[in-house]
Structure 1
Amino acid sequence: MSSLKIVIVGGVAGGASAAAKARRVNESAEITMFERGPYVSFANCGLPYYVGNTIVDRNDLLLQTPEKFWKRFRITVKIRHEVLSIHRPERTVAVKNLESGETFDVTYDKLILAPGAGAVVPEIPGIHARNIFTVKTVPDSDAIKQFLANHRAKRALVVGGGFIGLETAEALMNLGMTVTLVELAPQILPPFDKDMAMLMAVHLQEQGVNIIVGDAVTVFHTKDGLAEEAELESGTRLPCDLAILSIGVRPELKLAKDAGLAIGESGGIVVNEYQQTIDPNIYAAGDAVEIVHLVTGKPARIPLAGPANKQGRVAGANAAGGHLKFPGAIGTAIVESLGMMAAKTGLSEREAQSQGFNFFVSVTHPLDHADYYPGAEALHMKLIVEKTTGRLLGAQIIGEQGVDKRIDVLATAISARMTVEGLEHLDLAYAPQFSSAKGPVIMAGFVAANILRGEVQTMTGEELQKKLAAKEPLQLLDVRTQAEFHETHIPQAWLIPVDELRDHLDDLDQTKETIVYCRVGLRGYQACRILLQHGFQKVYNLTGGILSFNGKK
């Protein structure tokens, strides 16, 4: 009886994970992996750090080699081999050896597609200049380092303000270059809400990064094959010695489409929970695949390393005879740039709105550990909460330390469908150098649960800005100290420090809509409770305080 023949298209996260898991499930299967590039498994998330010399040894990026795959797993890996087409009735794939040009057919019993996604490179004049690069593969980063070794580059342009863009900006700053970052969206970090992304932008600007948002490169002006200047849609011209494109990625779908496999509404290959396509003998995993978003329950494409590895593991197991399931993902991600971290899980406020959720927002700014222990830094935390149930729908955190551990707790809470009242009662580790007795996640739970129970109503900074712009009749109350008020305040605000509020209740109009704010929201909440218990009806606390309103850390 012949052994099961498993063919895998593509390596890196999805394909390599599938191959290793398939072998662990089935020792007798004949497993062959074809990878178009020169490396079968590499740490693409580490490439910006290699460019910036944080990772010095290039070999640290190479997780597996064909030789290692054969020695450990008896898996045949063919690099520089491209699968050109799939012939489903015959169960064969046409393969081209990119070194020799030879084309041949390979039969399969089970096929796993892990084609991944390629970097977006817009077709604009000058885009193919020799000093314009992407950071998607090891050869990409090799080319950047080789160029920098041969040219004196002082002015760098990063096109795209997403995760890779921010990491690349840091890498180039670390190399002593001046960096300008251009983002088409009206903010950097497009998956985040604007109020949170603004905190990151302020920090990067303080570190010397020039940030331009709401604009796009339309042409690179070149000389002798090198881009010397980028011209933006606004007409701005930016001199540059080097440009890095980090605009995004596009799923590699041609192979699947040509084979008649279904492509979903999110733009990914349709698979079931077993990573099976509409053809039961073909599985798919990784950045090109459509999955279920566990908050919305709807199809989504989440091109992140964590889901790709898990999908590959499931696809590999099932192709080899196993029975694993991949339920979906919630898009948990984190980035660090120049000492500041930004993390997100679940839905943003904008995403929750577009998906039709009835929700509220809660913003807190706790310290990452006890304030009496040296070195405490602020965490800027935003929760998106379903109004009717209190279920946590999403969270974002910006901060200098402790961000990763808090976003992971909140991601776990979302996956477990916890409510914010559940966050109140979490039993988390505490010692003053690590957290506070009422740690940041628990404090965020307290604040959000107070809103859920109706103890206070809140208003976001964006909602207040709209009211001020419309010149609505409202009573804006600043309850900070006189010194804080004179340093900065919101126009139209009336200063009554919270400790003096009870003595000035008669000076206020109980019938007017009253918005109260302090620095971060705590004193505002206390003031709201005083007003509500003295007959005021329409009282709102500005969630996150003036810190969230103006974006200053």
Structure 2
Amino acid sequence: MSEHVVVIGAVALGPKAACRFKRIRQDAKVTLIDRDDIFSYGGCGIPYYVSGDVSESNQLRTTAFHMVRDEPFFRDIKGVDVLSSTEATQIDRVNKQVHIKNLRTGEESVLSYDQLVIGTGATPRKLNLPGEDLENVYYVGNMHDAEKIKQGITEGRYSKAVVVGAGFIGLEMAEAFSDMWGIETTVVEIFDQILPRMCSPVLAKMGQKHMEEQGVTFKLGQTVSAIIGDGKAEKVVIADGEIEADLVIISAGVIPNDKLARECGLACSERGGILVDETMRTSDPLIFSGGDCAIIKNAVDGSPLFLPMGSMANRQGRVIGGNLAGRNEKFPPAAGSWCVKIFEKAMAGTGMSLGAAKQAGFDAISVTLIMADRAHFYPEKDMMSLELVVDKSNRRVLGIQGLSAGGDAMVGRINAVAAIMKFQPTIEDVSNLEVAYSPPFASAMDVLNSVANMADNALAGMNHGHGPDTFAQLWTDRDSGQYCFLDVRENADAEPFLKKYPEHWHNVPQGEIMRRHEEIPRDKKLVLVCNTGGRSYEAQIMLDALGFEEVLNTQGGMAMIKAYGVDI
């Protein structure tokens, strides 16, 4: 009798595991179960279907050769049987059986298995708010929600939207509403920045400012207490008052669906999620799990990591498929790489942000660099901001995040670091990282190499200073008389600020410091500024050598000050 593999969950991980195993073991029987009638779709593409970038919902279910991944496709093309609208209600590990229920007919039955895969995914986190069940309140948890939202938009039923949560999906949905459809959109976030825990407050503020310039309003540090309306959502109540809304999206994260696993006695995390080893096996050697319901290992500190992403699920599914067939494939620890498009810019990262690194117990610092993403003399280029997080004690790279209008170029840099994170790279590894070079694509000293060199200089005490956030605080306190804001650019660049702030803004070009240093006050803290932080760093080295005691380089210069939104 041929081996029977049963796979519970058919969105991302399940289909990949099932099809990979079937390709290796054509003699085996594979049954794929999903409680929905729409399955095997790209859930991460939902915001782009809502925006209209993806015109039809079925496009999220099609292959690269335009075949819809439905029951006949899996049966005829992949050799996999699919039971859709079927819920797995119980796993009997002793008898190796899965109890199932047909949600269309109510009929209950039992499937025997030789090996089992649990790919039950995750469920959007509910906030249990008054009014959460009103019409026009959605979680964007499946294709049904997506189609309802899109239908309401195209019919012109929505003019004001509130998005609760400033994570990936929240920001992508906000862009979809505001950019393509012109819907007045407000994002409410309980933390005081967008993408909390994913990047630094500085990069988050820069991303937020860009979205605000495109018309999105943010209410940060706010909790939603209720959604009110007569049958359908009309207002969202926060601490600051009420926000009018005829469409509410709750994007407050997801919770791993581990109920089946817990009930049958598999090891699960106290915080939720099924525990697996590096082969993606659970505590039962005949049962595998992965995707949004599983907990893997963090490549940075070895801690448990919940990373609900379609890319992770697909790669894990392939590993599981191989191991179902008797191979010994392993899924390595993950650094948690991510990227998100926000209008004309993109943000991305891998590893830990500075805040996350400190919370994990690392003695960490970060440096921030803004630089052209290709040769400065090449006519087409974008400015890229990168923040590198390193451990002071051993120079290990703990993470990197970035923001740029050249999204593909930036994601390429982040991916280069992501690829080596499992090897615990040091500053030197990134400083000397080989990247493909040609002026239309990179600088001879690439921005990635340069930010690592900057970290090296910072740890050596050569580059000391601050980012635009600290500059903003110092500038607010400029009347205290403690600071001298020294512009080290050429006079033509500095002149507008000299005229606007004659008492506070001073100018000595970097190339003239050695012969004009006596003009610079020694009884004040020097706050150095240039366009991007390069010349001010050179000026800082000179002034340090000349005996100036308190010299602060503004990392990122005027470019980052402007992107951060300092009113200057």
Q: What is the TM-score with the length of structure 1 in the denominator?
A: 0.92
Cα pair distance change 1:478/1:85, threshold 3 Å: farther
Please say if residues 463 and 537 of structure 2, whose CA atoms lie closer than 8 Å, have aligned partners that are also in contact.
yes
Q: How far is 1:20 from its partner? A: 1.3
- Find the residue that maps to 1:541 and give its secondary structure: strand
Please say if residues 255 and 272 of structure 2, whose CA atoms lie closer than 8 Å, have aligned partners that are also in contact.
no
Deviates more, 1:528-537 or 1:77-86: 528-537
Cα distance in 2 for partners of 1:532, 1:315 equals 58
Tell me, yes or no, if structure 1 residue 522 matches structure 2 residue 522: no
Tell me, yes or no, if structure 1 residue 531 matches structure 2 residue 543: yes
Tell me, yes or no, if structure 1 residue 11 matches structure 2 residue 30: no
Query: Which residue does 2:77 correspond to in 1?
Result: 72
Query: Which residue does 1:168 correspond to in 2?
Result: 173
Q: How far is 1:447 from its partner? A: 1.9
Deviates more, 1:266-275 or 1:502-511: 502-511
Cα pair distance change 1:129/1:490, threshold 3 Å: farther
Q: How far is 1:276 from its partner? A: 1.0
Structure 1 segment 448-467 matched on structure 2, within 5 A: 448-460=455-467
Query: Which residue does 2:487 correspond to in 1?
Result: 479
Q: How far is 1:309 from its partner? A: 1.4
Gaps of 5+ in 2: 63-68
Percent of matched pairs sharing the same residue: 32
Q: How far is 1:452 from its partner? A: 3.7
Amino acid at match of 1:529: I
Cα pair distance change 1:356/1:487, threshold 3 Å: farther
Query: Which residue does 1:368 correspond to in 2?
Result: 373
Amino acid at match of 2:486: D
Cα deviations by residue, 1:367-390 (Å, 9 ceiling, x for unpaired): 122333333221111111122332
Please say if residues 15 and 112 of structure 1, whose CA atoms lie closer than 8 Å, have aligned partners that are also in contact.
yes
Cα deviations by residue, 1:173-222 (Å, 9 ceiling, x for unpaired): 20122211111111112122110011111111111111111112221221
Q: How far is 1:399 from its partner? A: 0.9
Cα pair distance change 1:23/1:490, threshold 3 Å: farther
Q: How far is 1:396 from its partner? A: 0.7
Cα deviations by residue, 1:83-126 (Å, 9 ceiling, x for unpaired): 11111111111111110111111111211111111112222121
Tell me, yes or no, if structure 1 residue 22 matches structure 2 residue 45: no
- Find the residue that maps to 1:326 and give its secondary structure: coil
Structure 1 segment 311-390 matched on structure 2, within 5 A: 311-390=316-395
Structure 1 segment 244-255 matched on structure 2, within 5 A: 244-255=249-260
Tell me the matched-pair count. Answer: 550
Query: Which residue does 1:188 correspond to in 2?
Result: 194
Amino acid at match of 2:183: M
Please say if residues 487 and 505 of structure 2, whose CA atoms lie closer than 8 Å, have aligned partners that are also in contact.
no
Structure 1 segment 287-298 matched on structure 2, within 5 A: 287-298=292-303
C-alpha RMSD of matched pairs (Å)? 2.7
Cα distance in 1 for partners of 2:472, 2:56 equals 50
Deviates more, 1:294-303 or 1:476-485: 476-485
Please say if residues 375 and 443 of structure 2, whose CA atoms lie closer than 8 Å, have aligned partners that are also in contact.
yes
Please say if residues 292 and 328 of structure 1, whose CA atoms lie closer than 8 Å, have aligned partners that are also in contact.
yes
- Find the residue that maps to 1:365 and give its secondary structure: strand
Deviates more, 1:395-404 or 1:408-417: 408-417
Equivalent in 442, 447, 469 of residue 449 of structure 2:
442
Query: Which residue does 1:232 correspond to in 2?
Result: 238
Cα distance in 1 for partners of 2:468, 2:273 equals 36
Cα pair distance change 1:49/1:56, threshold 3 Å: same
Query: Which residue does 1:94 correspond to in 2?
Result: 99
Deviates more, 1:305-314 or 1:490-499: 490-499
Query: Which residue does 1:426 correspond to in 2?
Result: 433
Cα pair distance change 1:465/1:263, threshold 3 Å: farther
Tell me, yes or no, if structure 1 residue 543 matches structure 2 residue 547: no
- Find the residue that maps to 2:419 and give its secondary structure: helix
Please say if residues 124 and 141 of structure 2, whose CA atoms lie closer than 8 Å, have aligned partners that are also in contact.
yes
Query: Which residue does 2:48 correspond to in 1?
Result: 49
Q: How far is 1:492 from its partner? A: 7.0
Tell me, yes or no, if structure 1 residue 405 matches structure 2 residue 445: no
Cα pair distance change 1:438/1:484, threshold 3 Å: farther
Please say if residues 170 and 338 of structure 1, whose CA atoms lie closer than 8 Å, have aligned partners that are also in contact.
yes
Cα deviations by residue, 1:229-273 (Å, 9 ceiling, x for unpaired): 111122x21111212222211111211111121222553211111
Cα pair distance change 1:259/1:487, threshold 3 Å: farther
Q: How far is 1:523 from its partner? A: 1.8
Amino acid at match of 1:518: C
Cα distance in 1 for partners of 2:96, 2:476 equals 64
Query: Which residue does 1:36 correspond to in 2?
Result: 35
Cα distance in 2 for partners of 1:488, 1:26 equals 75
Please say if residues 360 and 385 of structure 1, whose CA atoms lie closer than 8 Å, have aligned partners that are also in contact.
yes
Please say if residues 421 and 445 of structure 1, whose CA atoms lie closer than 8 Å, have aligned partners that are also in contact.
yes
Q: How far is 1:509 from its partner? A: 7.0
Cα deviations by residue, 1:327-376 (Å, 9 ceiling, x for unpaired): 12111111112111010111101011111112221111111223333332
Cα deviations by residue, 1:34-80 (Å, 9 ceiling, x for unpaired): 11111220011111111111111322111422211111221111111
Cα pair distance change 1:531/1:127, threshold 3 Å: same
Cα distance in 1 for partners of 2:171, 2:546 equals 49
- Find the residue that maps to 1:451 and give its secondary structure: helix
Deviates more, 1:80-89 or 1:421-430: 421-430
Q: How far is 1:539 from its partner? A: 4.4
Cα distance in 2 for partners of 1:96, 1:489 equals 74
Cα deviations by residue, 1:251-306 (Å, 9 ceiling, x for unpaired): 11211111121222553211111111111111110111111111112211111122
Cα deviations by residue, 1:148-194 (Å, 9 ceiling, x for unpaired): 34453221222211111111112112012221111111111212211
Please say if residues 479 and 527 of structure 1, whose CA atoms lie closer than 8 Å, have aligned partners that are also in contact.
no
Cα pair distance change 1:289/1:474, threshold 3 Å: farther
Amino acid at match of 2:556: G
Amino acid at match of 1:61: L
Q: What is the TM-score with the length of structure 2 in the denominator?
A: 0.90
Cα distance in 2 for partners of 1:491, 1:442 equals 38
Cα pair distance change 1:309/1:487, threshold 3 Å: farther
Q: How far is 1:537 from its partner? A: 5.4
Equivalent in 501, 505, 515 of residue 513 of structure 2:
501
Query: Which residue does 1:282 correspond to in 2?
Result: 287
Equivalent in 194, 202, 213 of residue 209 of structure 2:
202
Please say if residues 364 and 380 of structure 1, whose CA atoms lie closer than 8 Å, have aligned partners that are also in contact.
yes
Cα distance in 1 for partners of 2:116, 2:261 equals 11
Structure 1 segment 122-201 matched on structure 2, within 5 A: 122-173=127-178, 174-190=180-196, 191-201=198-208
Query: Which residue does 1:417 correspond to in 2?
Result: 424
Cα distance in 2 for partners of 1:429, 1:367 equals 16
Equivalent in 212, 218, 230 of residue 219 of structure 2:
212
Please say if residues 276 and 294 of structure 2, whose CA atoms lie closer than 8 Å, have aligned partners that are also in contact.
yes
Cα distance in 2 for partners of 1:491, 1:81 equals 74
Q: How far is 1:512 from its partner? A: 7.5
Cα distance in 2 for partners of 1:85, 1:493 equals 71
Cα pair distance change 1:31/1:475, threshold 3 Å: same
Cα distance in 2 for partners of 1:311, 1:281 equals 16
- Find the residue that maps to 1:290 and give its secondary structure: strand
Cα deviations by residue, 1:464-495 (Å, 9 ceiling, x for unpaired): 77889999996554333433644888997765
Amino acid at match of 1:520: T
